Amino acid sequence: MAAETPETQPTAPKVISNDPWFGMYADRAEVMRASEIRALFAVASRPEVVSLAGGMPYLEKMPFDRLSELLAKMLREKGDVAWQYGSAQGDDHLREQVLEITALEGITDAQPDDVVITNGSQSGLDLITRIMCNPGDVVLAEAPNYVGALGVFQSFQVDVENVPLDADGLIPEAFEEAIIAQKKLGKKVKFLYTVPNFHNPAGVTLSVERRPKILDIARRHHVLIVEDNPYGLLGFDGQTYPALRSMDANQVVYLSSFSKIIAPGMRVAWMIAPPAIRHKLVLANESAILCPSNMSQMTISTYLDNFDWKKQINEYRGMYRERCDAMDEALHEYLPYCSWNKPKGGFYIWLKIPEGLDARAMLPRATTARVAYVSGTAFYANGEGTHHMRLSFCYPTPERIKEGIRRLAGVMDEEKATTELFGTVGRPDPDPRDVEHPGPASL
**pLDDT-derived band of residue 92, with 50, 70 and 90 as boundaries?**
very high
Can you tell me the mean pLDDT for 297-324? 96
Domains recognised in the chain with CATH numbers: 30-61+311-434 (3.90.1150.10), 84-306 (3.40.640.10)
The answer, yes or no, to whether the previous bond of 144 is cis (omega within 30 of 0) is yes
Give the C-alpha distances (Å, rounded to integers) separating 316 from 99, 396, 433. Answer: 21, 14, 33
Which of these ranges, 215-224, 361-370, 424-433, has the smallest mean pLDDT?
Answer: 424-433
Q: What is the pLDDT of residues 155-186, one digit of tens each?
A: 999 999 999 999 999 999 999 999 999 999 99
Pairing of strands 374-375, 50-51: unpaired
* Nearest C-alpha neighbor of 252 from the set 220, 226, 217: 226
Predicted pLDDT of residue 39: 59
More confident residue, 62 or 210: 210
Q: State the chain's mean pLDDT as an integer.
A: 89
Which backbone phi and psi does 137 adopt, to 5 degrees?
Answer: -70, 165
Q: What is the pLDDT of residues 319-344, one digit of tens each?
A: 999 999 999 999 999 999 999 999 99
132's CB contacts (< 8 A; 6+ apart) are: 190, 191, 224
Predicted pLDDT of residue 270: 98
* Nearest C-alpha neighbor of 170 from the set 218, 112, 211, 127: 211
Predicted pLDDT of residue 35: 63
Taking the C-alpha atoms of residue 70 and residue 36, their distance in angstroms, rounded to an integer, is 39
Taking the C-alpha atoms of residue 68 and residue 351, their distance in angstroms, rounded to an integer, is 40
**pLDDT-derived band of residue 1, with 50, 70 and 90 as boundaries?**
very low
More confident residue, 3 or 370: 370
